């Protein structure tokens, strides 16, 4: 025979399971929206995107210093000076 403590635990688990099933059924019914309740559609216009340069003008007082500098050297050899 089941002890009193096991019986109370079993009944509590059964009540919890029934409550969870009821909540799932309630929210599942609410989540199925009918088309009549949906807001009207909003028209959307699409256009082709282009990339262009934009002029930027900065007006400021002060000095400008670069973060880093780079030295460029030509490493290409003209076609007439190449050795085979």
Q: Which of 42, 41, 22 is nearest to 30 (CA)?
A: 22
Burial category of 80 from C-beta neighbours within 10 Å (exposed 0-12, middle 13-18, buried 19 and up): exposed
For 24, how many CA atoms within 13 A lie in the half-sphere containing its CB?
6
Which tens digit of pLDDT belongs to each residue from 11-61?
A: 999 999 999 998 888 887 655 655 566 778 888 888 888 888 888 887 878
pLDDT at position 59 is 81
Average pLDDT over residues 5-13: 90
- Pairwise CA distance, residues 69 & 73, whole Å: 13
pTM of the model: 0.35
Which tens digit of pLDDT belongs to each residue from 61-76?
A: 888 777 787 776 666 6
pLDDT at position 31 is 58
Residue 3, pLDDT > 80, answer: yes
């Amino acid at each position: 025979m089941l002890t009193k403590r096991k019986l109370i635990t079993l009944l509590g688990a059964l009540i919890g399971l029934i409550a969870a099933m009821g909540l799932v059924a309630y929210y599942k019914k609410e989540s199925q929206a009918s088309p009549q309740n949906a807001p009207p559609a909003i028209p959307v216009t699409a256009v082709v995107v282009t990339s262009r340069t934009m002029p930027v003008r900065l007006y400021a007082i002060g000095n400008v210093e670069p973060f880093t500098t780079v030295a460029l050297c030509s490493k290409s050899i003209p076609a007439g000076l190449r050795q085979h």
